[in-house]
Amino acid sequence: MSAVSLGYYPGCSGLGTSLEYDASTRAVCRALGITLQDIPDWTCCGSTPAHTVDHVLSSALAARNFAQAETAGIDDVITPCPSCLKNLRNALEHMEDDLFRARVDALTERPLTRPHTVKSVLQVLVEDIGLDAIKEKVTRPLTGMKVVPYYGCLMTRPASTMRFDSPEYPMSMDNLLAALGAEVLPFPLKVECCGASFGIPKKEAVTRLSGKLLDLAAGLGAHAVVVACPLCQMNLDLRQEQINAANNTHHALPVPYFTQLVGYALGVPEKELGFDKLIMPLAPAFTAMQEACAKATAVAEKKPAAGKTEATAGGAA
Amino acid sequence: METIDLTRPDTAFIREVEKESGQTVSKCYQCGNCSAGCPMSFAYDIPVSRMMRLVQAGQKEAVLSAKSLWMCATCETCTQRCPNNIDVAKVMDVCRHMARREGKGGVYAVKTFWDAFMQSVGMNGKVHEIGLMVMYMLRTGRVFTDVDLAPKALPKGKMSILPHRAKGRKEVADILRRFHEGAADEQKVQARLAAAEQAGKQAATQEGGRS
């Protein structure tokens, strides 16, 4: 794998509620030889609120970031957040239409001069770096850790815009986690909505929808729900107690970002991965993993021993 | 029983939705697949497939007053599953834009949250999570919203008290200002494009005359 250099759009939550996603993304990219160049003085993509107001406005907020990227000679951008990704992609797509682009330019007053691309961190890891290359670098396999991958709505939807993996039953994160050695459980709700940004104005949406996700994950015996979206993570982790209270459940499921687990498996020091930022501690998942490993080893050691006992017994008879 | 008048559809409304969304709403044959997959149906007053039917029938008032417009999470499941490839989520999105333009109050808490978000972006260039929460709480009077989360999130350093301000925040504020002033209005931009094209042609003619 030769060195890769990419523009990086962290997204606003990377400065706050998803600090650990940003930190672990940077650490994983370093470990895999990807150089990230931050878009200088990037600003908000507009997220959901902007596109509920107007599509030209939403695209203009996104487009300013490409204009900023151009000042640093950046063409190709990656972002960890699926919501940012969707807005940035939508803007580029809509701006292929001349009139739409002229309307966006009327707001930004900074017409773009170069073509741009934008991808998710997950897509770059799976498609550009490749699972084999990642697998080769694993020094701390996650053997024995049972995980369910949760992609959320936007990582693969709408398919025409995201052009990545299956919109109904994606497998990229499944395969990535399996390459790290984890036991990946099939998770039928992997693209079901978590309640998105309704946590504040309509909490019931989150306690209800995220509640279903946690119920199923726990029912499957998962040690962790692995996510790729800051909003999903916040709903499932920070709001887990609210969810428990609303649904009379007692879940205590850790909700790490996939980048945190990739980083761990690649041997990145834990302090660079922000495990301490997770509300539901990740430690029990590692304990469960070690216990499973110890059990497997014990069984493996016992087997030949058991065979011997049998043989002895047979001989005695 | 709630009834709708199918004899007088607002055809201008249908055309507007189709133009802004780029979708042909008459392609919807009411299979209900969108409603079946919609995770927010429980919070809707009108299921999404019925919203599509109301658009087809030109029922502007019913569509733009629907609570459903504001409870849509834009998860794109409807769009993904439409057998006629209608971008249903986009139809919902443009109806929401129209509802705003028509001054519909929508679902107050949701609209207030989104407005507070945009205001935070306009002030800082980036969203400031705590600032956004405070604005939302002050406006809705729901001052105890998520106070239970503060002791969890604050010690983790995941929410900064002060905003991370972008140097380009004025540029972002200008984008919002120009939008509200109507700088991106289609006719205005179209006229300007036409004028520029005309000027270009004239310049080319003059150039041709000179050579």
Q: Where are the domains of chain A?
A: 4-122, 132-292
Query: What would the CATH number be for the domain defined by A4-122?
Result: 1.20.1050.140
User: Closest residue of B to A197, CA-based?
Assistant: B73
- For residue A54, list chain B residues with Cβ-Cβ distance below 8 A: 97, 179, 184
pLDDT digit string, tens, across residues A172-191: 999 999 999 999 999 999 99
Judge whether B149 lies within some domain.
Answer: yes
- For residue B146, list chain A residues with Cβ-Cβ distance below 8 A: 199-200
Whole domain around residue B38: which residue ranges? 11-101
Query: What per-residue confidence (pLDDT) applies to B210?
Result: 67
- Using the Cβ of A67 and the Cβ atoms of chain B, whether some distance falls under 8 Å is answered with no
Whether B115 and B179 map to the same domain: the answer is no
When CB atoms are compared, the residue of A16, A43, A53 closest to B118 is A53
Residue B1 pLDDT exceeds 60:
yes
When CB atoms are compared, the residue of A12, A51, A193 closest to B126 is A12
Judge whether B1 lies within some domain.
Answer: no
Residue that finishes a domain, picked among B101, B135, B153: B101
Q: Which of residues 15-44 of A touch B (CB under 8 A)?
A: 15-19, 41-44
What class does CATH assign to A132-292?
Answer: alpha beta
pLDDT digit string, tens, across residues B37-70: 999 999 999 999 999 999 999 999 999 999 999 9
pLDDT digit string, tens, across residues B85-143: 999 999 999 999 999 999 998 999 999 999 999 999 999 999 999 999 999 999 999 98
Length of chain B, please?
A: 211
Query: What per-residue confidence (pLDDT) applies to A3?
Result: 64
Query: Would the ipTM clear 0.90, i.e. be above it?
Result: yes
Judge whether B129 lies within some domain.
Answer: yes
Query: What per-residue confidence (pLDDT) applies to B211?
Result: 56
Which of B33, B42, B75 should we substitute to test contact with A (largest number of A Cβ atoms within 10 Å)?
B75
* Cα diameter, chain A: 94
Pick A23 or A3 by higher pLDDT. Answer: A23
Judge whether B139 lies within some domain.
Answer: yes
Judge whether B3 lies within some domain.
Answer: no
Question: How high does pLDDT run on average in chain B?
Answer: 94
Name the residue among A258, A200, A199 with its Cα closest to residue A229.
Answer: A258
* CB neighbourhood size of A236 (10 A): 29
Contact across the interface for B175 and A202, Cβ inside 8 Å: no
**For residues A130-146, average pLDDT:** 97
**For residues A151-166, average pLDDT:** 95
- The answer to whether A14 and A80 have CB atoms below 8 angstroms apart is yes
Contact across the interface for A198 and B121, Cβ inside 8 Å: no
Query: What per-residue confidence (pLDDT) applies to A311?
Result: 45
- For residue B109, list chain A residues with Cβ-Cβ distance below 8 A: 201-202
Helix (H) or strand (E) holding A203: helix A203-219
* CB neighbourhood size of A127 (10 A): 14
Judge whether B50 lies within some domain.
Answer: yes
Q: Which of B2-6, B14-18, B149-153 has the lowest mean pLDDT?
A: B2-6
Question: How high does pLDDT run on average in chain A?
Answer: 94
* Dihedral sign (CA B126, A104, A80, B92): positive
Judge whether B5 lies within some domain.
Answer: no
Question: What contacts A223, CB < 8 A, 6 or more positions away?
Answer: A145, A146, A147, A254, A284, A285, A288, A289
Judge whether B2 lies within some domain.
Answer: no
User: Closest residue of B to A152, CA-based?
Assistant: B75
Whether B113 and B96 map to the same domain: the answer is no
Q: Which of B72-86, B169-183, B191-205 has the lowest mean pLDDT?
A: B191-205
**For residues A224-236, average pLDDT:** 97
Residue that finishes a domain, picked among B53, B82, B101: B101
How does residue B20 score in pLDDT terms, banded at 50, 70 and 90?
Answer: very high
- Alpha-carbon dihedral angle through residues A83, A32, A37, B175, given to the nearest 10 degrees: 0
Residue that finishes a domain, picked among B47, B82, B101: B101
- For residue B160, list chain A residues with Cβ-Cβ distance below 8 A: 15-16
- For residue B171, list chain A residues with Cβ-Cβ distance below 8 A: 43, 64, 108
CB burial of residue A293 (10 Å; 0-12, 13-18, 19+) = middle
Q: How far apart are CA A150 and CA A138, in angstroms?
A: 22
Residue A310 pLDDT exceeds 50:
no
Pick A309 or A21 by higher pLDDT. Answer: A21
- The answer to whether A167 and A86 have CB atoms below 8 angstroms apart is no
Residue A312 pLDDT exceeds 60:
no
Whether B137 and B74 map to the same domain: the answer is no
- Using the Cβ of A260 and the Cβ atoms of chain B, whether some distance falls under 8 Å is answered with no
**Model confidence, pTM:** 0.93
Domain count of the fold of chain B: 3
Query: What per-residue confidence (pLDDT) applies to A303?
Result: 72
Phi, psi of A217 (to 5 degrees): -60, -45
**For residues A72-90, average pLDDT:** 97
How does residue A244 score in pLDDT terms, banded at 50, 70 and 90?
Answer: very high
Query: What per-residue confidence (pLDDT) applies to A305?
Result: 53
Whether B17 and B92 map to the same domain: the answer is yes
